[in-house]
């Protein structure tokens, strides 16, 4: 197992190298000159050129990339063009709010999604099944910004139960976590239902029932355990999306996380921060996929990577 993990980690090096090249190219395709933005609207051409030289933007693109990637290999991702603060510090200040929000949202998504998916499969073609899948379809279809605004209107403006924005106490987590958790829960519920229905039709489930085992034990210990592989897969992907796709929700709720930081740095064309953020999101997906593969072997002993 450990050899497999080490081999997968080594495989991330060429992946991140290729991703870094694509990110470098796409970032510089964004319209706008960061030197002009930083110099200000009243700056002269000489002042703009001085800022460009100070930021290293006057060098050829290949040289700029090699400088960035060479320093990144040593853990030095440069400084923010806006604040002149090291990029690692800039991201480190925003990391925990995003991770904590993603974890809380994932807990909500797993609790709701698993429960709805199991109930829908066990009560197939009943009103509970139709209700659960209608809710799942609505959860997938609803735009996150619309749901965020509706929650804000009801819970914060009309009923005055929760703060409208900010980061601090548990009350600040409620609305953004629900907003993010609903979409993830809908996806988990649909995959759980499909996996459970496939397992419930197997011969060993009928054998377990024929032995007189209680229905909850059959559903949870026999059926759910064997249906977890696709559920774990979609759960891992959803967690990756929550870490990297919270831009809209963090902007609506003024959440001081990585998503809101990404919006700010794109607006200011802060190349070092944009590149590092996108690399971090890419690495997050790689690590989550590795963790999901390891969980496969934990859930199903028949799977071996040796």
Identify whether the C-beta of residue 196 lies closer than 8 Å to the C-beta of residue 117.
yes
Q: What's residue 247's pLDDT?
A: 84
Q: What is the pLDDT of residue 210?
A: 87
Q: Which domains does the chain have, with CATH numbers?
A: 96-256 (1.10.3720.10)
Q: Supply the pLDDT for residue 215.
A: 86
Taking residues 31-41, report their average pLDDT: 84
In this prediction, residues 209-217 reach a mean pLDDT of 86
For residues 245 and 235, give the distance between their C-alpha atoms in angstroms, rounded to a whole number.
Answer: 15
Whole-number percent of the chain with pLDDT over 70: 99
Mean local confidence (pLDDT), 243-255: 84
Residue 273 confidence (pLDDT):
93
Map residue 28 onto helix, strand or coil. coil
**Beta-carbon-side half-sphere exposure of residue 251 (alpha carbons within 13 Å):** 13
Average pLDDT over residues 259-264: 90
Across 119-128, 175-184, 238-247, 275-284, least confident range: 238-247
Separation of alpha carbons 285 and 260, rounded Å = 19
Which DSSP string do the residues of 39-66 spell out, in sequence order?
H-TT--HHHHHHHHHHHTTTS-HHHHHH
Q: How many Å is the Cα radius of gyration of the chain?
A: 24
Average pLDDT in the 153-174 region? 90
The arithmetic mean of pLDDT across residues 133-152, rounded, is: 91
- Indicate whether 204 pLDDT > 80: yes
Dihedrals φ, ψ of 84, to 5°? Answer: 60, 20
* pLDDT in the model for residue 305: 64
Highest-confidence range of 117-121, 214-218, 247-251, by mean pLDDT?
Answer: 117-121
To the nearest 10°, report the CA torsion of 74, 283, 260, 172.
-110
DSSP conformation class of 75:
T
Average pLDDT over residues 126-142: 91
CB neighbour list of residue 297: distance below 8 Å, 6 or more residues apart: 1, 303, 304, 305
């Amino acid at each position: 197992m450990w050899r497999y993990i080490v081999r997968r980690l080594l495989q991330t090096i060429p992946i991140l190298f290729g991703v870094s090249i694509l990110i470098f190219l796409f970032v510089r395709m964004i319209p706008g000159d960061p030197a002009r933005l930083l110099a200000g609207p009243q700056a002269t051409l000489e002042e703009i050129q001085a800022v460009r030289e100070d930021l290293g933007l006057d060098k050829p693109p290949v040289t700029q990339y090699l400088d960035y990637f060479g320093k990144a290999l040593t853990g030095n991702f440069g400084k923010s063009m806006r604040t002149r603060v090291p990029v690692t510090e800039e991201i480190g200040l925003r990391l925990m709010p995003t991770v904590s929000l993603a974890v809380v949202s994932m807990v909500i998504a797993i609790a709701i999604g698993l429960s709805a998916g199991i109930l829908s499969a066990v009560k197939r073609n009943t009103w509970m099944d139709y209700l659960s899948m209608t809710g799942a379809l609505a959860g997938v279809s609803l735009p996150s910004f619309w749901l965020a605004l509706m929650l804000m209107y009801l819970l914060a403006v009309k009923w005055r139960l929760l703060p409208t924005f900010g980061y601090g106490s548990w009350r600040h987590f409620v609305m953004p976590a629900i907003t993010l958790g609903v979409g993830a829960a809908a996806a988990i519920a649909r995959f759980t239902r499909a996996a459970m229905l496939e397992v419930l039709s197997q011969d060993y489930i009928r054998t377990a029932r024929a032995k007189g085992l209680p229905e909850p034990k059959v559903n949870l210990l026999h059926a759910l355990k064997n249906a977890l592989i696709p559920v774990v897969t979609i759960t891992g992907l959803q967690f990756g999306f929550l870490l990297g796709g919270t831009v809209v929700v963090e902007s609506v709720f003024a959440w001081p996380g990585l998503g809101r930081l990404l919006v700010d740095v794109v607006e200011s064309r802060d190349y070092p921060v944009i590149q590092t953020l996108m690399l971090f999101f890419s690495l997050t997906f790689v690590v989550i996929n590795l963790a999901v593969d390891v969980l496969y072997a934990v859930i199903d002993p028949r799977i071996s990577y040796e």
